[in-house]
Structure formats: structure tokens, C-alpha cells
Amino acid sequence: MADMGESGGGHEGKGKKRAKKSSTRIDMTPMVDLGFLLLTFFVMTSTFSKPKVMSLVYPAKIEDPTPPDQPKINNAITFLLSEDKIYYYAGQYYSKGNKEGKPATELEETTFGPNGLRKLLADRNAYVIRKKEGLDEKLKKKQIQDTTYERTLIDYKKHKEALKVLVKTDDKATCKNFIDLIDELKIAQIGVIAPVDLLASELELIKAKK
Amino acid sequence: MPKIKIPKHSPSIDMTPMVDLAFLLVTFFMLTASFRSNEPVDVEPPSSISDKIIPENVLLVTIDKGGRVFMNLKEAEARRELLQNMSAKYKIGFSEKQYETFAGMSSFGCTMKELPGYIDMGAEERKKYETKGIPSDSTNNQLKDWIFYGNIASLNSGKTAYEEAKAKGDKPEINDFKPKFILKVDGQAVYVHAQNVINVFRDLHLNNLNFVTSAEATPK
């Protein structure tokens, strides 16, 4: 039983006083029961953290039946996602025996770990990361405003020395792979992310790599 | 022989601290709780470092492990308008009671034909209901209509909310009231399923999408 107040030790001999004392005791068991019932209910039904969202802007669809040529972007890297695997190539895509006479594109493999993808992106996007550090410093010292900070950062991300990323997925890649990759890109402060369709020849390359 | 007097301790324990603790926790959970809505599918989103919380006035599309598509609009008023438009487009009538239920429902995923029956079910029944989700293939793209009318309905309800906030004397930001498009995908789902839905959004010129993710610590 739950008791409130001390159970008197010394005066047990005197009957009258004892009767008075016991009246101050409240049986707390039902209250405890109720308390824990409510506790269990709230623990079970509450969601701890509100889910977060990650925004991603997709390129607008071009309503043009003829597919455009490969976009010419400087300083780009293309990631190809397959079943828990990630391949990439830098620069433009060259198929075998292309007209320009460039060597055919070869895929390289990397991993989702901190030594793979994160290091790769940090190296390639060193320009933006360095600039951001400078900006962070300035913001800390309150030399610039929040809004200026954000605007300048966006400008840096669009700079021609900043890395641009194209993301292509094959039919086996999971959403987790995709989100993980986008997440890494956001960590590496990459501003231009374009999820685009996979070319048939690129699919061949992935298959050859496996 | 003298009797050995054993002090008679009552077997009871003082429960006061325990009660204190229990009620403290109850209070904490009561104040912090945001209730989990009763979704017809359980989806485990992947994690990311993003710290943007889910905005207001959202159009949520859920894609489960098997690629089934579900849709949800948060605003009750917008849901009613959406169903009215869809009902006119597909020439399926709904009773006033069905409108009422639909406005208070969470995510739904079924064809237009199944919808009246789907609305009449209880929440538990809906969970068990074997559905293929909202059809989104090119021959029968109902998802496109849902998103199209959903967008219009949320725009309208957002506008009303904006006007109300303005009348109150606040200085609301119009962008906060515009509908946001959110994709909730299961981490195990194949990306192609998500891509189909994304293409539907892109066909409607809605290119700014958000993915629901669970929070993750930012690496230093």
C-alpha cells in the first residue's frame, strides 16, 4: 500500500493517537495506476521528433519531342546509382568512338562512407567549402547580415568553379540510395543538383562494371 | 524468556516519489506530444541532415515499399473542394456524409471507382484494405488529376488563410501559404516508383519538391 506521511514508530502503545494518525494516510495505488496508464498512453502515441523535409528542385520539363544534346556544363560530375552501389564520372559523357575523338568515359566506383563519397565531394567542391568557411567566420563576428550570408552563399554555389552534380539512377536503385546521395551533396554544399534520366549507353557501362 | 520484540514494519513502501516522477513524465509527454496520425500505410523514410520542419499547407504523396501511391491534403476545406472537383471530373457522386468523412480522413490510396466504398470504411478497415494505390500510369493517370485539383484547392485555402492573417493585422508572407509538395518515400522502395510520381509533378510544372526524412546529426 502506498502511504503518505510517516508510520509512527514510538507511540504505538497509545490506541487513541494511532487511530488519528491512520486517517492522514491516503491509499495512492489507484493514483499511481492512473498515472502510469496515462504515461504509457502518451509514450505510445507521441512522436518524438517532427519529421524533417529536404527540398530538391527538379529541372523543368522541356516540351520538346527531340531530345536536346548533352548539356554542356563546366566542372560537373555525374553520379550513377545502382543497387547500393555508386559510380561516377567527371565532366562530359563520351560514348565509344565519339566524333570528337575523346577517350570513352569510364565509370569509377565509390562508397557511401565518409572516406568515399564525402571525401571526393569535399575535394572537388573545395572552392565553395573554402568560401563558406570565410563567410561563416564573418557571420560569427557579425560583420555581415544573415540575409547577406545566404545570398552570397547561393552566389558562390552558382559560381563556375563550384561543382555541379547530375544524378542518374537505374531501375535497381532504392530511394534510400538516392536520398543518401542528395544528403551527401547537401553536406558538401553543392548548389546545383540535377536528377536526370539515364542514357542507355550509361546503363551498359553500369552493367559492365558489375 | 523475554520476548524478542520485532518492530512491526508495515510492508508498504512510500510511493510518493514514484508518483511524483510518474506525473512529471505524464506532464512532459502531454505537453510535447504531437499525435501520430492514423495513416493507412507505414513508411520508413530515409534519414538526412536537413533540419527544415514540415511546412503548413502541404500536399503529401506517400509511396510505400511496393510502389503504391497514397495522397493526403492537410487542410480539411481544401480536401472538400478537391473531392468536389474530382467527383465532377469522374462523374462519381458523393453524399454529404461522405464529404464530411473525406475531409477528416488521413491519406487515401485507391481508384476513383473504389473511393465511395473506401470512404465508408472505418480507419482500421482502411488499413487492412487491399489496394493498389492511386493509379499513376499513363493510360489511367488519376494521380495527375488528384495533384492538379489538390494544388488548386490548396492554393485557394492558402489564399483564404492569407487574407485572414492579413485582416488580423499580421504581416504574413504569401509564400508561407502556398501549397508545398511533399514526397514521403520508403527507403526500401525502388527509386523508379518515386520517379514516376516525380514525373507526374513535373508534367504539371511543379518542380519544387520536398522529401520527408528523419533527422540525422550533421557530420563535422
Stretch 5-44 of chain B: residues touching chain A, C-beta under 8 Å: 7-16, 18-19, 22-23, 25-26, 29-30, 32-36
Distance separating alpha carbons of residues A93 and B103, to the nearest angstrom? 50
Closest listed residue to residue A202, CA positions, set A173, A164, A176: A173
What are residue B77's phi and psi, to 5 degrees?
-65, -45
- Residue among B16, B33, B46 whose CB faces A180 most closely: B46
A28 or B162, greater pLDDT: B162
- If one counts every other C-beta atom within 10 angstroms of the C-beta of residue A121, the result is 24
Residue range A42-97, pLDDT digits in tens: 888 776 666 788 888 888 877 665 555 555 567 788 888 888 888 888 877 777 76
Task: Give bridge partners of residue A108 from the DSSP assignment.
Answer: A88
C-alpha cell at A67: 531530345
Stretch 145-164 of chain B: residues touching chain A, C-beta under 8 Å: none
Residue range B62-98, pLDDT digits in tens: 888 888 888 888 888 888 888 988 898 888 888 888 8
Average pLDDT on A161-184 reads 86
State the best of B35, B57, B173, B191 to mutate against chain A, taking most chain A CBs within 10 Å: B191
Closest listed residue to residue A107, CA positions, set A131, A80, A88: A88
A165 neighbors A77 (Cβ within 8 angstroms): yes
State the best of B211, B212, B214, B218 to mutate against chain A, taking most chain A CBs within 10 Å: B211
Distance separating alpha carbons of residues B53 and B50, to the nearest angstrom? 9
A61 or B220, greater pLDDT: A61
- pLDDT confidence bin for A10, thresholds 50/70/90: very low
Residue range A152-168, pLDDT digits in tens: 888 888 777 788 888 88
CA distance B135 to chain A (A): 20
User: CA end-to-end span of chain A, whole Å?
Assistant: 69
* Average pLDDT taken over every residue of chain A: 76
User: What is the SS3 assignment for B219?
Assistant: coil
Average pLDDT on B124-138 reads 81
A32 neighbors B20 (Cβ within 8 angstroms): no
Residue range A113-135, pLDDT digits in tens: 778 888 888 888 888 888 888 88
Distance separating alpha carbons of residues A155 and A162, to the nearest angstrom? 10
B-chain residue closest to A10, CA distance = B7
